[in-house]
Amino acid sequence: MGIKNDKVMVGRIVGDPRLTYSEKTGVARFYARVRVNHWQREDDGNFTKQGQTFHDLVVRYDLAEVAYGKFAKHDDFIATGEFRKFTDAENAEREEFRATTISHNPTTTDYTINRGKATGVEHDALGLDRSKSFERPEQTAPAHESAALAR
């Protein structure tokens, strides 16, 4: 299996997200209208804004329900996925960004992480002294032999 080569979208949710379910399959679908700002890096290292584009962001399956519970209008996000063309109910050709992962943008979002307890076997239950896990073990210096060149 190769490494996935998804596109990355960094943007802001500009419309109220919606959660719907497929009538045929029952699959959850998160939808939001999003804005992506485009920037160009200049020779001096500064960035110049090049405009913005608007897109349909879609997340499916279980992640759709999670996204709907965590994202709201005006949230900044980072998503991976791909652009997909489709034909809508009115037979118009459209394009959406179908995300396989989505997260709040950590450079613009203030949040805390609640790691909770470890699942499964707890680390302390292994009986390891983790306070020394990054210390180098004591080693004796290797014996140096004098080098002799043979002719």
Question: What are the structural domains of the chain?
Answer: 7-109 (2.40.50.140)
Query: Would you say residue 147 has pLDDT above 90?
Result: no
What is the greatest pairwise CA distance in the chain?
A: 87
Lowest mean pLDDT among 38-47, 66-75, 141-150: 141-150
- On the 0-12 / 13-18 / 19+ scale of CB atoms within 10 A, 50 is exposed
Confidence tier at 102 by pLDDT (50, 70, 90)? very high
pLDDT at 129: 56
Q: Looking at the predicted structure, is the pLDDT value of residue 150 above 60?
A: no
Q: What is the distance between the alpha carbons of residues 130 and 68, in angstroms, rounded to a whole number? A: 39
Q: Contact 38/11 with Cβ under 8 angstroms?
A: no
pLDDT of residue 116: 78
Angle at CA of residue 30, ends 98 and 88, nearest 5°: 65
